[in-house]
Amino acid sequence: MRLVIIKPRCEEEKGALRLNKILQKSLDTAMPDEGGSRPETEQISTAEELKHRLGAPGQLRGRRILFAVSLGEWGMNLEMYAMIRCIRKNPRCMEHSIAGILTDGGCELYTKSAAAELVFAANLSGCLFIGQPLVEGTKSLQNFQVRATNLCLDLPAAYQESAKQLVRRLLEFRLPETGELRVLCLHASNYETSNTLSLWRLARNRLEGTCRIREIALGNGKVYDCQGCPYQTCLHYGQRSECFYGGAIVEEVYPAVEQCDVLLMLCPNYNDALGANLTAFINRLTALFRKRQFYDKYLFSIIVSGYSGGDILARQLISSLNMNKTFILPGNFAWIETANAPGSALELEGIEERAAEFAERILQRQG
């Protein structure tokens, strides 16, 4: 299988050495069990090269793509941002492509935030990201401490193993096969005042009869946030699909998450952050995650801002549910609008057409 590597040139050549080594060894060793050779690759290193590729119709559509970004000592790769600009200028340029991402930094910060920004840009252009698509190396590699302990490896070896497994998962990824599509919609809003729920109603009308839909409201004090139980306690309860704190999350939400094919998050934006109950749900999902991962489930979202900042919430969902909790991120996963007064979302020009397009994306689940 041919793999496109988008590796923005790093101004700090010394800072790129570790990523180069990790990447090359991962490509050399990713497929040994199948007796396969090193995957055939092509590399794009500059925004100008990317622009040239995107100028030819379909060049980066339907491809396997690995983004590999060295951020240097100060967490900044200017070529990456030039590439993001190029991607934003070419909507749909990566439709039906499937991707993962490696980021390597020369400090303890920015590896995940930079990855989330790049993933969001590519996703808006139709690119699907596999569950847990990110492997990040901070300067100290302390973010691999738990994995190193579990694998009985030192930190650099744990980093290398994680990168190798990412390449393998990317090359082997197949879209999950489902029967009748099961959609779980989670929200903490009020139908009388919520623009987010108004948009969901438009989309739901187009989904009715084509899939099974379950809607759960997390409001009215039904959800307690995670209190950070010790790992073994969380693992113990998670193996039974339970949580120490019980309540609606365990009794209603956990079973619904296990049964669904698509998780749809309805996210009004009030203060450039996910609402408290939705955040609590994500935090409490950790106990269930101890029992089973979500590599076979898709993440979608409807985000409505009163003023601006919908992209901030989208990146929060990418970081928490795609990068951490392993949900697949299908192309154009988020429907983002701006509407302030109650009911004003329904008055936006072209809103019916966008609702129909979003519903179709859920049914197709890619691009």
Q: How many Å is the Cα radius of gyration of the chain?
A: 21
Q: Is residue 152 domain-resident?
A: yes
Q: Is residue 215 domain-resident?
A: yes
Tokens of 278: 């939705």
More confident of the two residues 228 and 36: 36
Task: Tell whether 335 and 280 lie within a shared domain.
Answer: yes
φ/ψ of 143, rounded to 5, equals: -70, -10
Task: Tell whether 129 and 273 lie within a shared domain.
Answer: no
Contact at 8 Å (CB) between 207 and 357?
no
* Cα distance between the two ends of the chain: 21
Rounded to whole angstroms, the Cα distance separating 124 from 22 reads 28
φ/ψ of 48, rounded to 5, equals: -65, -40
Rounded to whole angstroms, the Cα distance separating 362 from 355 reads 11
Residue 232: predicted pLDDT: 55
pLDDT tens for 189-209 read 998 899 999 999 999 999 999
Residue 187: predicted pLDDT: 97
We report the CATH number of the domain holding residue 9 as 3.40.50.360
Q: Is residue 49 domain-resident?
A: yes
Q: Which domain holds residue 336?
A: 182-364
Residue 170: predicted pLDDT: 97
Q: Is residue 177 domain-resident?
A: no
What's the average model confidence in pLDDT over 309-317? 98
Q: Is residue 112 domain-resident?
A: yes
Angle (CA) 218 212 191, round 5°: 40
Residue 238 banded pLDDT, cuts 50, 70, 90: very low
